[in-house]
Each structure stands twice: as structure tokens, then as C-alpha cells.
């Protein structure tokens, strides 16, 4: 999408400034149940191995490294703040046990086309630790040549020399956590990093021929103003990363303890946040970025933008992806995976994670086995979130249903969004309009059976 962004009127923004899921999965992770445990997940792995799910199904890996050297006040991730580097070595030993359990159940040497290290701060690991982790993964899985191998990087903890080492290990994609370049904002969220440092690292990444460099930004942080954030946007456009992820800060101090250190009075109001979002859309698109969807922008030559143009976009627990709809094996504390028609999440604390592995069990503590209705609705929501279009004929053939009759109530609910110009409904399809693409979460929410039954949405971040 390269046209100028549509006018985001205050009335429209106010109408959709409500909490809603990000739909990195459907059903969403808040619907997972403790009745789903290690035995259920083991069965899913065995079914994959035996072909009930399909041996040719692609495989992604996610590894969660929970450690951070310092606390960022805005953070809602599962992390452990420590300066004791030796804790990482113990963690790697338990990761090795978890990997071995996986390959015992689903078979060794399975081909992996996508790997992502997240956290926490994956670069908390030493060079030796990262090498040990990659050796571990390669000894149990086959990392496909030309796959996507990415790692989240804290610019404060790496050097150009360290980036060269990451390239040697096989990583070909980097994601830098920037959030904001303004010194006052950085101080307010306890994450101070000079812009010059980030510019030098991105330049080094280019010289090392990394396939793609992503920069994360957050709007709605304390001390941000539309004017100060516009200066950050201008710097990012000058930096010109291959991808940009732009997130709205969700202030939920009752759920995330670090956010209690943020001065609520310093947070920008809703009008200021809307201004930041509108300016971001305008500046990034003027700089030549493609609005991929929801939070993601990419240069036209980046594989994510290419996938968007070709209708090959997908979505997983890390956001938009170029990889086909695939199984995701998630390793490490709190990690969430997907195998076949199941979702699973590991223990959220190190003690529980270690204890389950000491028992020789996979550290899954909750999850969900999807029913037929879940699978149908997942297909619909992902079609809307990724392609911006639901084609009834394809839906009917895939699931042997009458889609218009199956979703009669939802189509009636969508009439309101159609009247506001967010969707176009015909006998053949539901299409998200250019204006509606900015509110695609609201469109998807219409098909969320759980959400429609439970109107308490305070657990989610706001759409705007």
C-alpha cells in the first residue's frame, strides 16, 4: 500500500480506541487452559512425527532467553533482570534437555526454515553461550540453507564485532530495540542509548550483509509529545532500516510490575497518541515504506513487503511472517508454540521450568486443543489479518460449509463497519478497505467467538 494514508478522523479513532487482541494466534493465549499439559503436547509431537499432521509441514523454532542486564519500565515481556552471567549457563543446560525431549518425540533432524531468538535479551548470552545454543540446535534440527534466522538485539549490549560474530553463527536478520531516540523519553523508561550508537550498528549490519534489519518503536511512552516523536521518526527515516515495527504502548501496571515505575502523569493523552500514529503513517509512507499491516512497515524490496504484494503473508507469535503456515516449536521459559491443531505454553518461572525438566517432562503448563470451529475461525481471522480478504468460495471448499450462513451473525455485525467504510461485503467476499486496513484488528474481532461471548476486553492492549 503506497498511497497517502486516509484521513484518520477523531471520531473514527475514538470509535475504535478499544482493547483488542493482536491475533498472533486464534484462539488467543488468554484462552489457554491448564487442563492441556505435557502429555497433550507430547501427543501432538508424536502425531507430527507419524504424519497425522504431515511430515512435509514446515517448522519454525522460537527460543526465549529471559535475561536482561537492566529493567526497561515499559516492558511487558517475561524477563529476569540480573547481572549474574552464570545463570545463563544453567539455563542453556536445561534448554538442551528440552530440545532432546522434543526430538525424542517428533524425531531428529527435522528441517527448520525459520528461527527466532527473543526475550528478554538474547544478546545477554556470551559469544560462547550463543555458539553453544546454535550448536545445540544444529545437532538436533536441520537448519535449511536460505532460511530466516533472526535475533533480537539490545543496542546497548553489542558492538560491530559482536554483530560479525552473530553473522558467523548463521543469523541473517537483526531486530534492534530502539523505542524512541529522545533522551528525555529514554530516561523516563530507563533505557538510555545514544542514536549515534544505533546508527553505527545498523551501518555495521549492512556492511556484514545481513538480509534484513528491523527497528522497534513505541509511541505513547512517558514524556513523548507529537513533536518529540516526529524527531525520532525523522531519525528513523534517515536510518532507513529494512523493516519498522511500530507499537502502541499499553499501560497495564496492574499486570506488569515494571510499569508501576512509570509516572502516569507523564503519559501522553489519547489525542497526542493519535497524532503520533497519524504522523508515523504519513512519514514512513512518504519515505517509501510499505504499510504491511497493523504494526509493520517494510521497504518495497524487503521480503515482508514482497510477501504482502504476492498474497503470501502469514502471522505467528512473533507477528507478520513470510513463512508458510507452519508448526512452531517454542523453547525456553514462558515460550508459546503451535503444533498441529494445538497451542502450548511453557512454565513462566525458572523454578517451575527447571522442575518439570528435572522430572524428564516437557515444561508445558497450559495450552489448547483447537476444535473445528476454532480452526475455521482461525482461517477467517488470519485471512483478514494477512490478505485483507475473506473469500467465501475458498472457505466453503476448505471446510465444507456455507460460509455466509455459518457467519450470518458476524456479517450482520460487520454492516456497521461497512457503513463506516472499513469493509466491503459482497456475495463473494469480505474485503478490508484501505481505511479499514488501519483498524484490521476491529474487523477480525467480529469473528472471535470467545471475545463476542466475553465483553471484558481489559486484558488486551488498545487498538490505537
Give the pLDDT confidence score for residue 54 in this predicted structure: 45
Q: Is residue 395 pLDDT above 60, yes or no?
A: yes
Q: How far apart are CA 441 and CA 29, in angstroms?
A: 16
pLDDT in tens, 126-180: 999 999 999 999 999 999 998 999 999 999 989 999 999 999 999 999 999 999 9
**For residues 374-403, average pLDDT:** 95
Q: Is residue 326 pLDDT above 90, yes or no?
A: no
CA dihedral 223→227→230→232, nearest 10 degrees, is -40
Question: Which range has the worst mean pLDDT, 34-38, 192-196, 319-323?
Answer: 319-323
Report, in angstroms and rounded to the nearest whole number, the Rg of the chain calculated over CA atoms: 22
Q: How far apart are CA 303 and CA 308, in angstroms?
A: 9
Comparing CA positions, the residue from 271, 176, 286 lying closest to residue 220 is 271
Q: How far apart are CA 329 and CA 141, in angstroms?
A: 11
Q: How far apart are CA 390 and CA 29, in angstroms?
A: 23
Tell me the average pLDDT of the chain.
90
**Placement of cell 473469500 in the chain:** 391
3-state secondary structure of 340: coil
Beta pairing class for 110-119 and 141-153 = parallel
Residue span(s) of the chain under CATH 3.80.30.20 come to 31-329
Q: How far apart are CA 230 and CA 215, in angstroms?
A: 16
pLDDT band of residue 7 (cuts 50, 70, 90) is low
Give the pLDDT confidence score for residue 275 in this predicted structure: 85
Give the pLDDT confidence score for residue 53 in this predicted structure: 47
Q: Are the CB atoms for 241 and 214 separated by under 8 Å?
A: yes
pLDDT band of residue 451 (cuts 50, 70, 90) is confident
**Placement of cell 484501505 in the chain:** 434
pLDDT in tens, 286-301: 999 998 887 899 999 9
Give the pLDDT confidence score for residue 351 in this predicted structure: 96
The class of domain 7-27+372-464 in CATH terms is: mainly alpha
DSSP assignment of 35-92: TS-HHHHHHHHHHHHHTSS-TTS-EEEEEEE-EESS--TT--S--EE---THHHHHHH
Give the pLDDT confidence score for residue 255 in this predicted structure: 85
Q: Is residue 231 pLDDT above 50, yes or no?
A: yes
Q: Where are the alpha helices (DSSP H) in 245-369?
A: 270-286, 303-310, 350-358
Provide, for the chain, the percentages of residues in helix, strand and coil under a 3-state DSSP scheme, each rounded to the nearest 5: 45, 20, 35
Q: Is the entire prediction scored with pTM above 0.85? A: yes
Give the pLDDT confidence score for residue 312 in this predicted structure: 86
Residue span(s) of the chain under CATH 1.10.10.920 come to 7-27+372-464
Q: Is residue 377 pLDDT above 60, yes or no?
A: yes
CA dihedral 367→370→374→380, nearest 10 degrees, is 90
pLDDT band of residue 3 (cuts 50, 70, 90) is very low
Residues 6+ apart with CB under 8 A from 297: 243, 244, 245, 246, 284, 289, 290, 291
Fold designation for 31-329: pyruvate-formate lyase- activating enzyme (3.80.30)
Residues 6+ apart with CB under 8 A from 457: 18, 19, 20, 451
Q: Are the CB atoms for 443 and 432 separated by under 8 Å?
A: yes
Amino acid at each position: 500500500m503506497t498511497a497517502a494514508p486516509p484521513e484518520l478522523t477523531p471520531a473514527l479513532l475514538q470509535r475504535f480506541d478499544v482493547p483488542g487482541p493482536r491475533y498472533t494466534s486464534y484462539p488467543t493465549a488468554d484462552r489457554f487452559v491448564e487442563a492441556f499439559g505435557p502429555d497433550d503436547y507430547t501427543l501432538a509431537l508424536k502425531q507430527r512425527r507419524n504424519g497425522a499432521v504431515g511430515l512435509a509441514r514446515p517448522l519454525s523454532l522460537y527460543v526465549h532467553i529471559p535475561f536482561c542486564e537492566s529493567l526497561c519500565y515499559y516492558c511487558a515481556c517475561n524477563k529476569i533482570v540480573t547481572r549474574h552471567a552464570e545463570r545463563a549457563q544453567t539455563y542453556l543446560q536445561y534448554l538442551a534437555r528440552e530440545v532432546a525431549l522434543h526430538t525424542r518425540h517428533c524425531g531428529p533432524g527435522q528441517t527448520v526454515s525459520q528461527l527466532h531468538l527473543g526475550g528478554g535479551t538474547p544478546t545477554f548470552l556470551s559469544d560462547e553461550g550463543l555458539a553453544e545454543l546454535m550448536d545445540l540446535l544444529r545437532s538436533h534440527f536441520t537448519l535449511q540453507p536460505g532460511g530466516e534466522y533472526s535475533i533480537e538485539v539490545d543496542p546497548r549490549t553489542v558492538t560491530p564485532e559482536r554483530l560479525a560474530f552473530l553473522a558467523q553463527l548463521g543469523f541473517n536478520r537483526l531486530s534492534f530495540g530502539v523505542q524512541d531516540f529522545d533522551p528525555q523519553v529514554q530516561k523516563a523508561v530507563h533505557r538510555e542509548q545514544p542514536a549515534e550508537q544505533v546508527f553505527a550498528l545498523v551501518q555495521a549490519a549492512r556492511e556484514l550483509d545481513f538480509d534484513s534489519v528491523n527497528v522497534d518503536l513505541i509511541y505513547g511512552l512517558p514524556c513523548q509529545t507529537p513533536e518529540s516523536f516526529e524527531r525520532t521518526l525523522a531519525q528513523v527515516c534517515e536510518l532507513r532500516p529494512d523493516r519498522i515495527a511500530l507499537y502502541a504502548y499499553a499501560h497495564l501496571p496492574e499486570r506488569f510490575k515494571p510499569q508501576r515505575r512509570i509516572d502516569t502523569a507523564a503519559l501522553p493523552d489519547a489525542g497526542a497518541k493519535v497524532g503520533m500514529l497519524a504522523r508515523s503513517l504519513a512519514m514512513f509512507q512518504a519515505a517509501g515504506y510499505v504499510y504491511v499491516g497493523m504494526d509493520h512497515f517494510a521497504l518495497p524490496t524487503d521480503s515482508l513487503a514482497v510477501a504482502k504484494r504476492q498474497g503470501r503473508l502469514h502471522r505467528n507469535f512473533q507477528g507478520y511472517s513470510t513463512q508458510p503456515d507452519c508448526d512452531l516449536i517454542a523453547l525456553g521459559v514462558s515460550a508459546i508454540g503451535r503444533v498441529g491443531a494445538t497451542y502450548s505454553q511453557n512454565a513462566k518461572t525458572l523454578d517451575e521450568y527447571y522442575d518439570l525438566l528435572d522430572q524428564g517432562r516437557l515444561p508445558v503448563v497450559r495450552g489448547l486443543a483447537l476444535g473445528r470451529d476454532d480452526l475455521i475461525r482461525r482461517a477467517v481471522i488470519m485471512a483478514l489479518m494477512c490478505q485483507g480478504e475473506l473469500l467465501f468460495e475458498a472457505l466453503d471448499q476448505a471446510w465444507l460449509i456455507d460460509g455466509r450462513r455459518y457467519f450470518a451473525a458476524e456479517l450482520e455485525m460487520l454492516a456497521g463497519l461497512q457503513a463506516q467504510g472499513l469493509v466491503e461485503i459482497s456475495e463473494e467476499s469480505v474485503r478490508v478497505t484501505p481505511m479499514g486496513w488501519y483498524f484490521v484488528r476491529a474487523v477480525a474481532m467480529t469473528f472471535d467467538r470467545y471475545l463476542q461471548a466475553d465483553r471484558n476486553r481489559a486484558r488486551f492492549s488498545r487498538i490505537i
